[in-house]
């Protein structure tokens, strides 16, 4: 049962600012700014916070790609999708390079491994933004992050064997535009913007390389005591404060109706 503790400040403007406790654990939320929760009182807090099943760790993946002499990872950078250098453990960059695979099925299995998604249609949820989805914005348009409630099908991708033909690689084909794939480029630098690009008539080695990724276990994983808290503009991933390392977080939330 979650409980709250009000900040030790009697001024009226701080009356809604509270910390969230789960038993002896102080819960912190992954964020670098937002802190508004969508609930009106401590009594209704449990309705706004749901536990994350342990099986969700089996659904966490990261996509990597070599360019030049460096390894890059697909990253949600301020809700824009880019390729960034392989991150250090325990950092926000690790969180941002981790996604949860959500099967686009009417009755998806509760537990599945990353090997089971080849040939299936999936959605990619940023690890630290539960309820949001990676989405394409049309051919040659950049990729972005959108609220799942507003999704129009642009967030559905089919996982296929890598176009480069190498063992262990995958490509992500648009669910609404056949022959169009998430694409990075060739010999790029950190910060390379990702886009949806379509195959040309002939085999293009550069295109096949830029549209192929190594799909591995997620660089981050959920703590055994993790929750999703409904926010005003976004949801929050909560975990015990002691589990954080070098990530941004807040232990206080502005809890309002």
Ordered structural domains, the chain, with CATH: 2-52+223-256 (no CATH), 54-217 (2.80.10.50)
* Pairing, β 36-38 against β 252-256: parallel
Residue 247 and residue 100: Cα distance in Å, rounded? 19
- In sequence order, which ranges of the chain are alpha helices (DSSP H)? 45-48, 92-96, 205-210
- Spatial separation of the C-alpha atoms in residues 183 and 81, rounded to whole Å: 11
pTM, rounded to two decimals:
0.85
Each of the 257 residues of the chain gets a pLDDT tens digit; together they read: 555 556 555 666 556 677 788 888 888 888 877 777 776 444 566 677 889 998 899 899 999 998 888 899 999 988 889 999 999 888 889 989 999 998 876 545 554 666 678 888 999 999 989 999 998 887 878 888 888 766 677 889 999 998 888 888 999 999 888 889 999 988 888 888 898 988 876 567 788 889 999 999 999 999 999 998 887 788 889 999 888 888 887 777 787 76
Long-range contacts of 118-123 (CB under 8 A, 24+ apart): 118/159, 118/160, 118/161, 118/170, 119/158, 119/159, 119/160, 120/158, 120/159, 121/156, 121/157, 121/158, 121/159, 121/175, 122/156, 122/157, 122/158, 122/159, 123/148, 123/151, 123/155, 123/156, 123/157
């Amino acid at each position: 049962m979650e409980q709250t503790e009000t900040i030790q400040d009697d001024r009226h403007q701080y009356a809604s600012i509270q910390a969230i406790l789960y038993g002896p654990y102080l819960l912190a939320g992954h964020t670098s700014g937002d802190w508004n929760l969508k609930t009106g009182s401590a009594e209704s807090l449990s309705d706004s916070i749901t536990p994350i099943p342990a099986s969700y760790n089996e659904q966490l993946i990261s996509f990597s790609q070599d360019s030049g002499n460096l390894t890059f990872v697909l990253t949600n950078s301020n809700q824009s999708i880019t390729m960034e250098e392989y991150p250090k453990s325990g950092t926000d960059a690790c969180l941002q390079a981790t996604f949860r695979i959500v099967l686009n099925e009417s009755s998806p299995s509760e537990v599945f491994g990353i090997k089971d998604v080849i040939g299936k249609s999936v959605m990619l949820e940023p690890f630290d933004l539960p309820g949001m989805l990676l989405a394409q914005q049309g051919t040659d348009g950049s990729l972005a992050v959108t609220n799942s409630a507003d999704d129009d099908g642009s967030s559905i991708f089919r996982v296929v064997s890598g176009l480069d033909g190498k063992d262990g690689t995958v490509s992500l084909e648009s669910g609404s535009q056949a022959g169009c794939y998430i694409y990075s480029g060739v010999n790029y630098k950190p910060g390379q913007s990702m886009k949806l690009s379509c195959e040309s008539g002939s085999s293009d080695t550069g295109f096949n390389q830029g549209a192929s990724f190594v799909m591995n276990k997620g660089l981050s994983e959920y703590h055994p005591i993790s929750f999703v808290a409904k926010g005003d503009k976004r949801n929050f991933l909560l975990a015990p404060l002691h589990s954080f390392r070098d990530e941004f977080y807040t232990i206080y939330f502005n809890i309002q109706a």
